[in-house]
Structure 1
């Protein structure tokens, strides 16, 4: 079934990658030594080496070695793991990492051993083209798999053992993602009624029926989704599943309390699951993000300075009062800081201002204020907050102290957002949670960002901000 299909798919994927790597080598050779556009021989003007210093066959052995090294790197970075649940962005980041490391290895070997006739432009072109071919091939593979799964092919068959909040959440996600190609045959549970059904998935027996069912049915996996009150049965259930030889996964009923990307520690053979995984507690990650923030804020302040000057003049002329509005927000480590914005309202009593959100058709907002709020131009002074270190370019949006006190009592895990610097834009904002929207939805997205931070995710958020983050329909 699916295991055999996955084996064939992995072998085919390795073969496709090998072909792409070889074609990348040939393409790089042709561009480097024989590129002409409409008869114009570009190599004479772009590159310094002579045309065809060696025939292509001279590079065959190095190309085969590069192919082997890259395939090993691809496997090391998990590029041949099942794509059923793997995010495409994560796969592309791992593909990029593999090629960058491969480029570094090639440069090191060629330099140390002083290998001749390998100009830097040649192997740089090779790795750039290879990455592009890899992106294209993976996109095509994902599309083909997605279409086939929707047509009922390459389906993974599973059953659930126990019904709980985690089982319901799992089924919800399966129903929302038909391209995963998962078919749930039913639920084994001792606590629900005989006619129980959840979103079309029926109870097909008790836990005592599980062993017989697995013995007589060919399945790809079993998902153990026992209710927390039934965990005393866990050892028995695992023993039954392992005896049948079927792949078994455990979905804890306390999934709301642990991160989506937990990490474990080995304490002399005792596995310990850490409740919260925050990548930005890593020193190197913090240094990388802070360096990007400093450079990015300086560049942004320079680029947007003409716009900021125009906005400042309009704000000053629109109504009496200061141009910049400073408001206390809660940031990293629950510490307060002054967040800067272009003033979009008339001057008002700070005590009254602190008691309410801005609502639609709010009389306090000036005509100029409506425009700069709608287009996010009022946020531009926050690049100064980023430069100072109060904020980051990307991160959860900070809240005012009174709302922090309110939300931390009402929303579980709310205070986790203060383990990282707040941002000008974030994962919640590019997913539509700006202004007067669900605070719970916003926090869920903020927590996802905190627990799954990567440089690639920051780049993705920055990219999405340019296309759908500036103009805000919920900004009043």
Structure 2
């Protein structure tokens, strides 16, 4: 515990020093190695608040968790997102408060320097932590088909591990328990899960398992009582009316000005589609929005015309022969989704929310996934938590769990974070 606290203070101290050093260097670059008193005094009035907000944002994005708990890509994404949000916050404060004013170029220069410095130092710290982490015996329990995936997940949590594998029906060897440092559960029945929960609590062993939609639904419920009977109070996951109205206004503003601003680019894509594979340019498809209402989602066409005429509704695969040459690029860059700004402007969609599904898939998921209907309490989005936190191979059950987590933990900061992470991750994740 003392070592963990000591490490946290060390990391936070380096963060504070690096952050303010980047700001000072940004001033010197902007003013050609001079520090004008008026402008620098404005920075001195702002920097305590800006520093505090950065530390809080680093907490929010898990940058003070164990350094090996994130992959390098996740670490870079979290650092860059936190810096962008903090820079936006500082620029807004300096704009609103007259006596805290200096050239906005300082913010841009400082943000660039911060990204280089923080990404570099945090990757070095993560590398050092990996080398100095002790080896831990990890017990993986689940079907054999899940062992490779569970091994990857265990490796993200505890990078230097010795793995032991059991299936749900296997007995736990008594001699193994004293050596186990963590347990990772895959798809197991409730009896098996309860058995391992008891063993882990009895021996003070961390236990990790993938939550299903029920786990997420009841997580954070308030423990109350009805007379002398203990009861759970389940909180609503609906966005409050005031917040929903402001979110809608933000959607209208961004989609309206976005369509105007990128209209030349949209016309260029349309021309490319006509040259590559002819008409039509746009593809309209029925999807489900909030409340189960149907609407027509619009995208740039990336497949051959009438691609589903013979097969009916089927999901596209990575090497789908129906995808056109230009369509592969548009899908990888997600440019095929840009016309959905029109759906956002109309109110069928939002910038951030669960991705809208087709009616055929919704009917299928309703039968197979518990509480799937709850995702329709939120307005579907252009991007969502499942798109930035999941992977191409995420199952419908995993995506539904991400959607429920988003609905339960919604905030303005989460929406902004998802938007920024989407922009950052597009080159890495491609078509999802």
Q: TM-score, normalised by structure 1?
A: 0.60
Aligned match of 1:120: 101
Q: Match for 2:159 among 157, 174, 181?
A: 181
Structure 2: which 5+ residue stretches go unaligned? Answer: 407-413
Whether contact under 8 Å (1:73, 1:98) holds in the other structure is no
Asked whether the equivalents of residues 396 and 417 of structure 1 are also in contact (C-alpha less than 8 Å), the reply is: yes
Deviating more after overlay: 66-75 vs 443-452: 66-75
Q: Structure 2 vs 1, CA of residues 418 and 80 (structure 1 numbering), >3 Å: closer, same or farther?
A: same
Correspondence for 2:122 among 142, 161, 178:
142
Aligned counterpart for 1:85 among listed residues 69, 73, 79: 69
Question: How far has the Cα of 1:296 moved from its partner?
Answer: 3.1
- 1:53–1:358 distance in 2 versus 1, CA, 3 Å: closer
Matched, 1:205 2:175: yes
The CA distance in 2 between the partners of 1:233 and 1:307, in whole Å, is: 55
* Cα distance per residue 1:74-131 (max 9 Å; x no partner): 68656533233254334554555566667788899x87xxxxxx65118x77776665
Higher relative contact order (CA 8 A, sep 6+): 2
Q: Give the 3 Å change call, closer, same or farther, for CA 90–416 of structure 1 in structure 2.
A: farther
User: Whole-Å Cα distance in 1 between the matches of residues 80 and 240 of structure 2?
Assistant: 23
CA distance in 2, matches of 1:259, 1:138: 35
Question: How far has the Cα of 1:133 moved from its partner?
Answer: 5.4
**Mapping for residues 392-407 of structure 1, pairs under 5 Å:** 392-407=350-365
1:155 to 125, 130, 134: 134
Give 3-state SS (helix, strand or coil) of 1:36's partner: coil
> Number of paired residues?
403
The CA distance in 2 between the partners of 1:251 and 1:52, in whole Å, is 54
1:228 alignment counterpart: 190
Paired residues for 1:369-408 under 5 Å: 371=326, 375=330, 381-408=339-366
Residue 251 of structure 1 pairs with residue 208 of structure 2: yes
**How big is the shift at 1:382?**
3.4
Partner of 1:264: 220
2:410 corresponds to which residue? none
Report the structure number with the largest CA radius of gyration. 1
CA contact (8 A) 2:15 2:118 kept: no
Instruction: Write the distance in 2 (CA, Å) between the matches of 1:69 and 1:319.
Output: 55
Alpha-carbon distance in 2 for matches of 1:458, 1:382: 15
- Alpha-carbon contact 2:352-2:418 (below 8 Å) kept: no
- Alignment match, 2:415: 454
The SS at the match of 2:286 is strand
Q: CA deviation at 1:389?
A: 0.9
Deviations 1:51-85 (A, max 9, x none): 5569x8x8999699669856874686565332332
Name structure 1 gaps, 5 residues minimum.
44-50, 112-117, 195-202, 242-247
- Check the 8 A contact 1:327/1:340 in 2, yes or no: yes
Q: Distance in 1 between matches of 2:196 and 2:429?
A: 49
Measured after TM superposition, the shift of residue 10 of structure 1 is 1.9
Q: TM-score if structure 2 supplies the norm length?
A: 0.65
State how 1:8-407 maps to structure 2 within 5 Å.
8-24=6-22, 26-27=24-25, 30=28, 35-36=31-32, 51-52=36-37, 69=52, 73=56, 77=60, 79-86=63-70, 87-88=74-75, 89-94=77-82, 120-121=101-102, 134-151=114-131, 153-155=132-134, 157=136, 160=139, 163=141, 171-174=150-153, 176-177=155-156, 180-184=158-162, 192-193=170-171, 203=173, 205=175, 210=177, 213=178, 222-223=182-183, 228-229=190-191, 231=194, 238-241=201-204, 248-251=205-208, 255-258=211-214, 263-268=219-224, 272=232, 281=239, 286-287=244-245, 289-306=247-264, 311=270, 326-340=284-298, 355-357=312-314, 371=326, 375=330, 381-407=339-365
SS at match of 1:281: coil
Deviations 1:402-422 (A, max 9, x none): 343234334556545434333
What is the rounded CA distance, in whole Å, between the counterparts of 1:27 and 1:175 in structure 2? 41
Cα pair distance change 1:65/1:451, threshold 3 Å: closer
Two-structure CA RMSD over aligned residues (Å): 5.6
1:25, distance to aligned residue in structure 2 (A): 5.6
Distance 1:271 1:27, change over 3 A: farther
